[in-house]
Amino acid sequence: MRRFKWQIILGLALVILSAFVYFIHYVIFRDTHHIFIYLIGDVAFVFIEVLLVTLIIHQLLSEREKRARLEKLNMVIGAFYSEVGTRLLTYLSDFDPSLDKIRKGLLIEGDWSEQEFKSIAKRLRNYDYEVDIDKVNLDHLRTFLLGKKDFLLRLLENPNLLEHASFTGLLRAVFHLTEELAHRDSIEDLPQSDYEHLAGDIKRFYVLLVHQWLDYMKHLKDNYPYLFSLAMRTNPFDQEASAIVE
């Protein structure tokens, strides 16, 4: 209420000052005709000014600021895959019993078009993701994720995450699995119901991990060819992947 009160007072003060200046103009020149010509002209231009400032310039600045935030967020996504995501994809995809159905489509090439990215994205939406929990070394996975917990927490604190709901969901899913594994004193001899629960948590973030990886690869191809080159050579779905250029 106080905030609106000082705004009202300021508005009234400005109107009074404007009227006072017009009054001085009238006292000096005694020309109401001239006063009203410029007054009406200035009022008429206010609407054009609102259009230019509010609808056009403000929109352009907002779009520019949004692009800058998204660019910063893509840097965060890149850090995530460099530190955590690519290793998790490499590890978990080995235990996906149906991966051969989509593996070839995920071997991204440097000359891929927009349509090819859209095509594989459509295939991934219809793919039945699965991770064989019996083959996953949960103790190894827990050690790895707990070692990255501080890193994940710092990513979650990034305010730019608000601009990217899918990546935020991915981080939450990874962090949730980390917490699930951390709250178990031992991973061995768990009841079958608990293994099924953990399998669901792993599948949740595995799905998000794959989809976000494809989006990130497209971003690199469109904007950073040198980073895209390394990402192709270290593709987690390529069993013969190597960073060495041959």
In 3-state terms the chain splits into helix, strand, coil percentages (rounded to 5) of: 80, 0, 20
| pLDDT for the residue numbered 241 | 80
235: alpha, beta or left? (left if phi > 0; alpha if psi -120 to 50): beta
Q: CA 39 to CA 69: how far, in whole Å?
A: 42
pTM of the prediction? 0.73
Candidates 124, 121, 116; CA nearest to 96 is: 124
**What are the pLDDT digits (tens) for 133-167?**
889 899 999 999 999 989 988 888 877 776 677 88
**What are the pLDDT digits (tens) for 203-221?**
998 999 999 999 999 989 9
Residue 19 has pLDDT above 90, yes or no: no
**What are the pLDDT digits (tens) for 177-206?**
999 999 888 888 888 899 899 999 999 989
Query: Which residue's entry shows tokens 């009841």?
Result: 191
- Please report which helix (H) or strand (E) contains residue 16, including its range: helix 2-29
The share of the chain scoring above pLDDT 70, in percent, equals 95
Q: State which amino acid sits at residue 8.
A: I
Whole-number Cα distances in Å, 22 to 12, 32, 36, 73, 79: 15, 9, 10, 52, 61
Confidence of residue 73 (pLDDT cuts 50, 70, 90): confident
Confidence of residue 27 (pLDDT cuts 50, 70, 90): confident
